[in-house]
Amino acid sequence: MTNKATANGVKIEGVTLTELRQICDDRGAVLHMMRSDTPEFTRFGECYFSEVLPGGIKAWKRHRAQTQNLAVPVGRIRMVIYDDREDSATKGQLQELELGRPDAYLRLRIPPGLWYGFACLGDSSALLANCADLPHDPTESDLRPIDDAGIPYRWGKQNP
Amino acid sequence: MTNKATANGVKIEGVTLTELRQICDDRGAVLHMMRSDTPEFTRFGECYFSEVLPGGIKAWKRHRAQTQNLAVPVGRIRMVIYDDREDSATKGQLQELELGRPDAYLRLRIPPGLWYGFACLGDSSALLANCADLPHDPTESDLRPIDDAGIPYRWGKQNP
C-alpha cells in the first residue's frame, strides 16, 4: 500500500490537495507553486523552505493562525496530518500522504488547528516549500514531541 | 577566482543581494526566502521553482515588468546578469555570481530590464526559487538565444 497523494484523496476537513504544473525540458523542469490569482490564494505572509535530510523527521507542529501551502519540489516526503479539532467533522482522523515528483507534485493546504509532521523518504534529501499566509510568529504555534501519546501515529524508520 | 555572491558584491544598478537565514539542525535546515515584512518586499505575484539539471543552462531572458526575487536552496548555480539599459549608470556591465548553500545563500533581486541566465554547477541538480512580484505573463518577457552575440558572455561547460 502506498499513500501517494492525489488531488481527490483528502479525508480531513479543510485540507486540500491541488495538482501543480511541471513544465519539463532537458535542462530541468519549471515547477509551479502559487500565484496571486490562484483561487486558493488569500495573502502572502512568508515563503521559506524546510530541508529534510535522509532519516530526518520533523514532528509535531500545530498552527493556530497560519495556513500552510506546501509542495515538495525536490525529493520525497511523508506527511502525516492529525485532526483533533473539537468542531471538526473529521475529528480523530489521521492521514498519511506521500509528496514528491513526478507523480505527486501537489500543493497541500493545511489550515490552522491541525497537527502535522513530515519525514524524508529514501536516500536523498527532500525540500518542502511553504507559501504561508502569515509570516512566522512563534507565539501562534504549538509543538508536541515526536512520540506524543496523544497522536495515534508512530514514526518509525521511514522507507519509501 | 570565484564569483561567489556576497551581499556587498553587486555592481549592476538596481540589483541587490541580501543574506538569508539558514537555521540548521541535524534533521535539515530551515531556509528563509521572503516575508511580507521584508523591507524589499513589494507584492506577491508568483512563487515557482526552476530546476537545473547538471550541465543545464537557461539563458537569456529579460522581463519588462516583473521583478525576480531569487534564491538557491538546493545545489549551486552560476547566475550571469547583463545590463544594456540605455538609462543605466552601469550600462555595459556584466556580472557573474555563484549562488548556493551554505556560503552563498542569498536573495538576489533582479529588476526589470536586465538580461540574465543561469547554469547548474557541479554534478547534482540545483533548484532556483523565485518569489516574483507579478504572476507569469509571457507577453512581458523577451528571450535571446544562449549564444547571442549581443551579450558579451560565452556559456561554456560550467565547472564549479
The predicted structure's pLDDT at residue B1: 43
Preferred mutation among A41, A47, A118 to probe B, highest tally of B CBs within 10 A: A47
Q: Which CATH number does the domain housing residue A39 bear?
A: 2.60.120.10
Residue B105 resides in a domain: yes
Which residues does residue B19 pair with via DSSP β-bridges, in sequence order? B106
Q: Do A56 and B28 touch (CB under 8 A)?
A: yes
Do A80 and A95 contact (CB within 8 A), yes or no? yes
Residue A122 resides in a domain: yes
Which residues does residue B141 pair with via DSSP β-bridges, in sequence order? B63
Residue A46 resides in a domain: yes
Q: What is the mean pLDDT of residues A75-85?
A: 97
Cell numbers standing for residue A97: 500522504
Residue (of B94, B69, B75) closest to B151 by Cα position: B94
Which residues in chain B (27-86) have CB-CB distances under 8 A to chain A? 27-37, 43-53, 56-58, 73-74
Domain tally for chain A?
1
Cell numbers standing for residue B85: 539599459
Q: B39 to chain A: which residues are within 8 Å by CB? A: none
Cell numbers standing for residue A66: 497560519
Q: A51-77: per-residue pLDDT in tens?
A: 999 999 999 999 999 999 999 999 999
The DSSP secondary-structure symbol of A20 reads -
Do A62 and A142 contact (CB within 8 A), yes or no? yes
Q: Do A135 and B34 touch (CB under 8 A)?
A: no
The predicted structure's pLDDT at residue A157: 73
Residue (of B56, B67, B35, B50) closest to B132 by Cα position: B67
User: Rounded to whole angstroms, how far apart are CA atoms B25 and B28?
Assistant: 6
Q: Out of B33, B37, B46, whose CB is closest to A49?
A: B33
The confidence band for A1, taking pLDDT boundaries of 50, 70 and 90, is very low
Q: A137 to chain B: which residues are within 8 Å by CB? A: none
Do B50 and B90 contact (CB within 8 A), yes or no? no
The predicted structure's pLDDT at residue B5: 73
Q: Out of B36, B50, B56, whose CB is closest to A135?
A: B36
> Containing domain of residue A94, as a range?
16-143
The DSSP secondary-structure symbol of B140 reads G
Residue (of A145, A83, A70) closest to A114 by Cα position: A83
Residue B29 resides in a domain: yes
User: Rounded to whole angstroms, how far apart are CA atoms A129 and A123?
Assistant: 19
Residue B55 resides in a domain: yes
Residue A8 resides in a domain: no
The predicted structure's pLDDT at residue B159: 60
Q: A129-155: per-residue pLDDT in tens?
A: 999 999 999 999 999 999 999 999 999
Lowest mean pLDDT: which of A25-39, A108-122, A145-159?
Answer: A145-159
Residue A39 resides in a domain: yes
3-state secondary structure of B4: strand
Cell numbers standing for residue B54: 547538471
| Backbone φ and ψ of A138, nearest 5° | -65, -15
Q: Do A35 and B129 touch (CB under 8 A)?
A: no
Q: Out of B29, B120, B129, whose CB is closest to A51?
A: B29
Residue (of B152, B79, B69, B81) closest to B120 by Cα position: B79
Tell whether omega for the bond before B60 is within 30 degrees of 0, i.e. cis: yes
| CB contacts < 8 A (A, B) | 111
Torsional sign, CA B97, B2, A49, A72: positive
Cell numbers standing for residue A71: 509542495
Residue A159 resides in a domain: no
How many CB atoms lie under 10 A from the CB of residue A153?
18
Contacts of residue A92, Cβ cutoff 8 Å, sequence gap at least 6: A83, A84
Q: What is the mean pLDDT of each run of 10 residues along chain B (160 residues)?
A: 69 95 97 96 98 97 98 98 97 96 97 98 97 97 97 82
3-state secondary structure of B138: helix
Average pLDDT over all residues of chain A: 94
| pTM confidence score | 0.95
Cell numbers standing for residue A82: 492529525
